């Protein structure tokens, strides 16, 4: 089941994309058709060691946004989940999408293959695309996905926003998380909602914010 949305709001620090380009998709990939796994070995978040773009963007996210740091730590604590993130400079030309995620369940594990357009958006836009897709993954991982890929599809459809219900693509949680991170990257003053508050409002059970070194991830603002 391929699903699409019109995420038209991440560019040049303002959440707007010109024209009719579509910006994000969550697709359901059935077992047996998944892409080859990259060679890098984080337990949850996996990046091909040749993908310097993604490694650099994640480093900048950690440095620039407390919420992004918290999100990345929590993603790393997802259970029985493998998320593959890949920069794709040809994604828009091939699919008219700036971001695309595919999720499937196989042998008791949740797999996600996340692609994002590289090289056309500014740095903030690219980083917010990554955050948006990882928040999608966090939301899906909070569901009862162990029932299989069909359960993942049904969960996404149940949360689809407005006109996107027809294709089951967009939900509110990742939009709000990306907006929060964008504000922090732009130096917005503290006082907005936290990741925990946004998750609670959308009935999402977050994994712990305890990184591998055992130190609590900061949820404060810069």
Instruction: Report the pLDDT value the prediction gives residue 119, as an integer from 0 to 100.
Output: 75
For residue 134, give the nearest of 161, 156, 101, 167 by alpha carbon.
Answer: 101
Give residue 192's pLDDT. Answer: 77
pTM for this prediction: 0.77
At 34 the pLDDT is 39
pLDDT of residue 6: 35
What pLDDT shows up at residue 43?
72
pLDDT at 68: 96
- Do the Cβ atoms of 117 and 88 come closer than 8 Å? yes
Average pLDDT, 10 consecutive residues per value, the chain (222 residues): 36 28 40 38 79 92 94 94 93 86 93 88 86 95 92 88 59 93 86 90 92 51 38
pLDDT tens digits along 145-194: 988 999 998 898 888 876 544 454 788 999 999 999 999 999 876 667 89
DSSP string, 134-201: HHHHHHHHTS-GGG-HHHHHHHHHHH--GGGGGTT---HHHHHHHHHHHHHHTTPPS-S--HHHHHHH
- Three-class SS of residue 214? coil
What are the domain boundaries of the chain? 26-201
């Amino acid at each position: 089941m391929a699903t699409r949305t019109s995420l038209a709001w991440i560019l040049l620090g303002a959440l707007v994309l010109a024209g009719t380009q579509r910006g994000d998709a969550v697709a359901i990939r059935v077992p047996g058709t998944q892409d080859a796994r990259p060679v890098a070995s984080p337990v949850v978040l996996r990046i091909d060691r040749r993908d310097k773009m993604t490694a650099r963007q994640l480093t900048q996210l950690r440095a620039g946004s407390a919420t992004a740091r918290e999100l990345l730590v929590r993603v790393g604590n997802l259970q029985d989940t493998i998320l593959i993130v890949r920069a794709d400079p040809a994604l828009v030309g091939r699919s008219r999408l700036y971001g695309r995620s595919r999720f499937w369940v196989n042998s008791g594990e949740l797999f996600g293959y996340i692609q994002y357009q590289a090289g056309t958006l500014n740095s903030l836009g690219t980083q917010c695309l990554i955050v948006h897709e990882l928040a999608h993954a966090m939301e899906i991982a909070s569901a009862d996905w162990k029932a299989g890929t069909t359960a993942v599809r049904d969960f996404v459809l149940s949360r689809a926003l407005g006109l996107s219900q027809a294709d089951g693509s967009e939900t509110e949680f990742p939009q709000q998380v990306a907006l929060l991170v964008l504000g922090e990257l732009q130096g917005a003053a503290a006082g907005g909602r936290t990741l925990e508050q946004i998750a609670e409002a959308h009935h999402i059970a977050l994994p712990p914010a305890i990184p591998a070194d055992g130190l609590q991830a900061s949820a404060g603002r810069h």
